[in-house]
Amino acid sequence: MYTNLAPEMSGSQQSMLLSGLVSILLIVAVALLFVATIIGRERTAAVETLAAQARQIEQGELDVDLATNRTDDVGDIYRALAVLRDSEQLDRQHGVSAEVVAQYCETAVEISNGNDDSRLEENVDDPQLAELAMRFNEILDQRKRDAEIDSR
């Protein structure tokens, strides 16, 4: 534009046109720099928050809220970390259940060996195992009452 108009203009007009074009370019450059800074800060803040949440999960705090409505790669990382967290929660629950089942098996062996005072632990995190233990202990208690009645 400048090269087409400049030959037809006087020197002062050329100078004003050039000055205007340079001003517009400077304003656009400053605006772009401003927008890039804002986007960079927002992205950096999101990554720092995500890193802090990942450290919490690493330390065993699995109740970290990882909900996000982001659709960019940071959102993808949030969702992937949430899947890993949920998987770890399931693994921990399964591990606890496996330990409780092993304890129940030991108690069942004790009962089968004649230790009628053994009972299954009812205060466990898995509601199904807690229900099983309660019903099993009720059966053992009833069996003990029946044995006392029979011995009279």
Using CA atoms, how far apart are residues 99 and 110, in angstroms rounded to an integer?
17
Return all residues near 63 (Cβ < 8 A) that are at least 6 apart. none
Contact present, 105 and 113 (Cβ < 8 Å): no
Indicate whether 3 pLDDT > 70: no
Q: What is the 3 state secondary structure string of the chain?
A: CHHHHHHHCCHHHHHHHHHHHHHHHHHHHHHHHHHHHHHHHHHHHHHHHHHHHHHHHHCCCCCCCCCCCCCCHHHHHHHHHHHHHHHHHHHHHHHHHHHHHHHHHHHHHHHHCCCCCCCCCCCCCCHHHHHHHHHHHHHHHHHHHHHHHHHC
Indicate whether 102 pLDDT > 90: no
Taking the model in full, what pTM does it have? 0.51
pLDDT at position 25 is 94
Task: For residue 89, name the pLDDT band (cuts at 50, 70, 90).
Answer: confident
Contact present, 57 and 81 (Cβ < 8 Å): yes
Quick one: what percent of the chain has pLDDT higher than 70?
A: 94
pLDDT tens per residue, range 130-139: 888 888 888 8
Where exactly are the structural domains of the chain? Answer: 1-60
pLDDT at position 87 is 83
pLDDT tens per residue, range 39-84: 888 878 888 888 888 888 888 888 888 888 888 888 888 888 888 8
5-19, 31-45, 77-91: least confident range: 5-19
